[in-house]
Chains A and B, each alone.
Chain A
């Protein structure tokens, strides 16, 4: 079974621009979560989508948004990029997103903001 795929793998953007990252979950998985990882803050939860609905949200500004499509693929968008948004963005999928579930992570998208 193919794993979680994320595109692009690497991205360089300029301050003030916006960016869209894509995540394709494992076939049959309906829950997709997004995380930001930086050396200073570690792994931080952004949001979770289940059946096209945002179910949980982390503590990030409104510049960070996401959506999920009917085929469970998900995108996250960051508008008005800041230098501090440079990070590894990880997507994880799981089957049910319920109380007990294993999350499977993709390789991440490395975003550099200059």
Chain B
């Protein structure tokens, strides 16, 4: 499975869009990009995944670059409850969680 690189931490103002970047330059053609988040003391929560097209669901949008070497998770209107660790994972087999990005949403 390809390795991912994410910033260690980010801040976002409540009500604003949170844009979380992820680099996965060694991604191969059959590997999907997954995003999960983990709110303190809870199990991780699936957010969204994609292969090469941009995806949107009720939680977030996923933008994948044309060369698939990076992606951005967008939370359109961040709330305090979105404060969590966000994991970007490239997967063709088992899920390999990195250190993720700690997103702090501030009032």
Contact = CB atoms under 8 A, between A and B. Distances in A.
Interface of A: 4, 33, 35, 42-45, 48, 56, 58, 90, 92, 99-100, 102-108
B76 interface: no
Interface string B51-64: 10000000000000
Interface of A is mostly: strand
B92 interface: yes
Given A105-B45, A106-B43, A48 B94 contact: yes
Interface residues of B, number: 21
Nearest to A90: B43
A105 B42 CA distance: 9
A44 to B, nearest CB: 8
Contacts of A56: 93-94
Given A99-B30, A99-B32, A102-B49, A45 B94 contact: yes
